[in-house]
Chain A
Amino acid sequence: NAGVTQTPKFQVLKTGQSMTLQCAQDMNHNSMYWYRQDPGMGLRLIYYSASEGTTDKGEVPNGYNVSRLNKREFSLRLESAAPSQTSVYFCASSGDWLTYEQYFGPGTRLTVT
């Protein structure tokens, strides 16, 4: 039982490049989330998927897109990376939207130069 896994763990991009962050959970959770965490700041919600087949914007969605590929997988795409997107990205899942605790993946540390 791996919980929530994320790939890659580290990534360096040049401005304008694109990439997809992958996330998978094996806990049969309905809801999945993408957060970013900047130094000295809390977690800010980028996008979430309350259930398979649905996605919604969070607090800071600009510059990102998501895909809920199936119940297990939720990916985050940066179409044209900018230095302001340098951050640590966490994927999380929970049994249900707003009701259950969230389980976080180990994070992806992204640097955009």
Chain B
Amino acid sequence: GQQVMQIPQYQHVQEGEDFTTYCNSSTTLSNIQWYKQRPGGHPVFLIQLVKSGEVKKQKRLTFQFGEAKKNSSLHITATQTTDVGTYFCAGPESRLTFGEGTQLTVNP
């Protein structure tokens, strides 16, 4: 079955540093979604990527979908304490599969 893997599992950064999390699928994805979950909260949808090689930006967040549509990345420029949380990618093939997430902590 489909597997969606994320790395790293944890990332600790100093405020102002950049952060990147990577998502890899064992199969080609029709689209990929990214979610953020604050500590003690629920996942919140960030963005959906559909096209091969697609790049989308939301302020300091840059999302990319690989050319082969089997991988994706989320890059945060100049992290802030408000970026703390766990970031999940999710692939929708056959059944919805979430990656295990990357837990980001930001030291002020």
Contacts and interface: CB of A to CB of B under 8 A. Distances in A.
Interface residues of B, number: 21
A48 B9 CA distance: 27
A103 B100 contact: no
Given A43-B88, A101-B33, A48 B44 contact: no
A42 B98 contact: yes
Nearest to B43: A104
Interface residues of A, number: 21
Interface in A27-80: 33, 35, 40-45, 48, 58-59
A101 B42 contact: no
A102 B95 contact: no
Contact of A101 (B48, B88, B99): B48
A102 B101 contact: no
Given A42-B101, A43-B88, A58 B45 contact: no
A102 B42 contact: no
A59 B91 CA distance: 14
A7 B58 CA distance: 33
A43 B45 CA distance: 14
Contacts of B33: 101-102
B96 A58 contact: yes
A87 to B, nearest CB: 14
B48 A43 contact: no
Which of A40, A43, A98, A106 has the largest count of B CB atoms less than 10 A from its CB?
A43
Interface of A: 33, 35, 40-45, 48, 58-59, 90, 92, 98, 101-107
Interface of B: 6, 9, 30, 33, 35, 41-45, 48, 88, 90, 92, 95-101
24 contacts: A40-B9, A40-B100, A42-B88, A42-B98, A42-B99, A42-B100, A43-B43, A43-B88, A43-B98, A44-B98, A45-B97, A48-B96, A58-B96, A98-B30, A98-B92, A101-B48, A102-B35, A102-B96, A103-B45, A104-B43, A105-B42, A106-B41, A106-B42, A107-B42
